[in-house]
Structure 1
Amino acid sequence: MENPLITIIIPIYNREQTLERCLCSVLRQTYTHLEIIAVDDGSTDHSRVILDKYQKKDSRLRVVRKENSGVSESRNLGLQLARGEYIQFVDADDWITRDATEILLKAMQTGSEMVITDYYRVIGRKIWIKGHIPESSLMSRAEFARYMMKSPANFYYGVTWNKFYRMDIIRDNALFFSRELDWCEDFKFNLEYLKYVSNIRVETRPIYYYVKTKGSLVDSKIDLRETIRTKRILFGYYKELYQALDMYEENKLKIQSFYLEFARDKIKSPVLPEPPLISKGEKIPKKKASPPRLHSGKKTKSDTP
């Protein structure tokens, strides 16, 4: 199909300060045949008002509301409702370049079944380019797995927002985000998805702005017992991938070092002071200043182990 429908899923929980910036970046994509599913996970701030405003402006945006139950349930609901041939995920804290979806689609159409890209890490007004695989290429699952073996806890491999997926693979294999994990559910999803692909397209051009947000899981102190439990669950899927590739016995020690890895981003290029956070000529609303509020419930931001 020359002009396939692409579904972009945005899970949202109390993100009134960043939501407009995110929505504008998605709605202004150069590739326009989009279905945008914004899943409001029981927000109690002004996120609801913002969503209603943008839904009235653009019929491609579909707002779905549910009681607060966490990011996995939000993404799963988005997948259940998706009609697109391809799936892209964006978090409400973040934003994407204007040509992000177009780049992902072109990369997927080179014969790949998953696309992975470098990304920008934003902290205040500073930015880093992050990645792990040095060159753009179409590679086999085994080649990709060898790179992942070197740094399995790198966000690059674990998160969903720097990747592009085929909906038929997700649907045919009943893939979903785990309800038993409060973090790293995205890495588990990726490990399962990789079982059903033969080729991965690597794009070193960054297209996603990931914002370090206070209160996200990466900033929180996670209970040691929960960390061990999560790593044990994840390792089962991680090990299974390498066994399927007949790579486990040969690389057992490297693969088992997964237990010692902690969440981190590999810096691919030096920090750039005061960078332009949007493309030239693109006008995206700045983060709104508003008084702090106290909310309960699970957060939508998730990071890899």
Structure 2
Amino acid sequence: MNFSPEPSIQSIEFKYPITDQLISIIVPIYNAEDSIEISLKSILNQTYHFFEVIIIDDGSNDNSHKIIKKYTQLDQRFKYFKKKNEGVSTARNLGLTLAHGEYIQFIDADDAIEPNYLDTMHALITQHKADVAICQFYHPIFQSNLKNKRFNLNQIEHFTELYSDTLAMIVPWNKLWKRECLKLGFDHTVHFAEDELFNLANIFNAKTVITTDLKLYHYTVHDHSCVNTAIKNDVLYPTITKENLLFSRIVSLQPKREAIIQNAIQEGLVSSNIQNNILYSRVLDFFFWHLVIYLHSGATIERLIIDYKYIVQHPIFIKSLEAKENWTVKIEDLKKEKLINNYINTCAHIFYENEHTSPLQFTYMFRAVFFHNFLQLNTSRSNNSYDVDISLALTFTDDKLLKLLAMSS
């Protein structure tokens, strides 16, 4: 049976044979004159020297090309290609077709990597005989809970744990891939979370993933990013339809996720038993991330209460909880207005009173408060096989959180 992804997700047609041990770094750019120097300099300073840099200019009309020219003249490993403006997905796809390397790395034009990034990631893959290496990263809002671990993706528990780590699988830039695992390109029709669809479509081709808690990638949030723009517009103009919520945008991709998973099941790349855990874990993740991001962006408590009255009754959110119920939770009641008001007020109090707390810790705290208010933990399970989300939330059992939980009762 042939693999038949959605028409908007095309198979990658590599033009060149693989060069062993070579790392192909793909850098899509658009009007990046203010940031591209930092990015390219961080690549030039790598301690691992066997790489090529494929810079795809997606129709820039600023002075980016002048800065890039300096590097292409300085070092023949830097290669510059310009195309008409069609979006970052098309640019990345072109970069993939031009790659020679055994390994593929994506870097955004306004980001930077540590000098030992390539060395460390290459060593992780080769020493652990892995197909993908994923590292921890610096980000002003998002964080991932990556640990030093080897994931055997043939095991459902390992696959679910890796995918449930939101930022491990939703971004393309903190990963070194073996090229042979990349079969499908980026969906050029999607302009929000297209990275996640790319990762999901290709991770099924990997058998082993190695992760590290080393922070090797520096991500920069800029005002014109699609996520930043979408959130700011939604916070500033709350009369916009609920379809523009961050949560709604994530949920809207469910049909595409399901199509990708179904094709992988048909190809025998993954067991059908894993479908619900993959399909709905992202939904539950963003139930909490939505709250963290919107609070960070200045949304009012009143606005968030309105949002969450909508979200908790969304059919796909209910389905996500039903999928989780098979593991460790039982839903009690999501329609009680008092509980929703109490939940948002408690989370907002936690957020405003803990300014030095990381966004990732906020998501764990918000999980704990949610479970305390709405869900009943199934503590009768003798094997203690708690769901990853719940296990992480329960790690926050210090006196401060217990007082907050008591306050939310």
Aligning the two structures, in what range does the TM-score lie when normalised by the shorter sequence?
Answer: 0.7 to 0.9
2: CA distance between counterparts of 1:139 and 1:62? 34
TM-score, with length taken from structure 2: 0.57
Check if 1:207 corresponds to 2:216: yes
Q: Identify which of structures 1 and 2 has the higher relative contact order when contacts are C-alpha pairs closer than 8 Å and 6+ apart.
A: 1
Kept in 1, the 8 Å contact 2:28–2:55? The answer is yes
Q: Does 1:256 align with 2:274?
A: no
Structure 1 counterpart of 2:273, one-letter code: M
Alignment RMSD (CA, Å): 3.0
| 1:233 is aligned to 2:242 | no
State the shift of 1:177 in Å. 1.0
1:102 to 93, 110, 119: 119
1:166 to 173, 178, 196: 178
Q: Which amino acid aligns with 1:113?
A: D
**Alignment partner of 2:75 out of 49, 58, 67:** 58
Is structure 2 residue 197 aligned with structure 1 residue 188?
A: yes
Contact 1:235-1:258 at 8 Å conserved across structures = no
Give the 3 Å change call, closer, same or farther, for CA 46–147 of structure 1 in structure 2.
Answer: same
Judged with a 3 Å threshold, the aligned counterparts in structure 2 of structure 1 residues 248 and 139 are, in CA distance, closer, same or farther, namely: closer
Determine which of 222, 228, 241 is the counterpart of 1:219. Answer: 228
* Corresponding residue SS for 1:20: helix
Amino acid at match of 2:151: M
Alignment check: 8 A CA contact 1:14 1:47 kept: yes
Aligned AA (1:147)? E
CA distance in 2, matches of 1:28, 1:187: 29
Task: Identify which of 127, 143, 146 aligns with 2:160.
Answer: 146
CA distance in 2, matches of 1:68, 1:33: 30
Counterpart residue identity of residue 233, structure 1? K
- Sequence identity percentage: 29
Greater C-alpha Rg: 2
Aligned twin of 1:120:
138
Shift of residue 193, structure 1, vs aligned partner: 1.3
Relative distance call for 1:253 and 1:116 in structure 2 (3 A) is closer
In proportion to residue count, which structure has more helix? 2
Counterparts of 1:17 and 1:137, CA distance in 2: 37
Q: Which residue of 2 aligns with 1:111?
A: 129
Q: Secondary structure at the match of 2:101?
A: coil
* Aligned residue-pair number: 257
The residue number in structure 1 matching 2:207 is 198
Change over 3 Å in CA distance of 1:253–1:59 after alignment to 2: closer
What residue ranges of structure 1 are gaps of 5+ in the alignment? 272-305
Task: Give the letter for the 1:131 counterpart.
Answer: S
Q: Which runs of 5+ in 2 are unaligned?
A: 1-17, 232-240, 293-355, 359-409
What displacement does 1:257 show? Answer: 5.0
**3-state SS in 2 of match to 1:234:** helix
- Give the 3-state SS of the residue equivalent to 2:47 in structure 1: coil
Moved more, 141-150 or 26-35: 141-150
* Structure 2 Cα separation of the partners of residues 95 and 29 of structure 1: 11
Contact 1:12 1:43 in 2 (8 A): yes
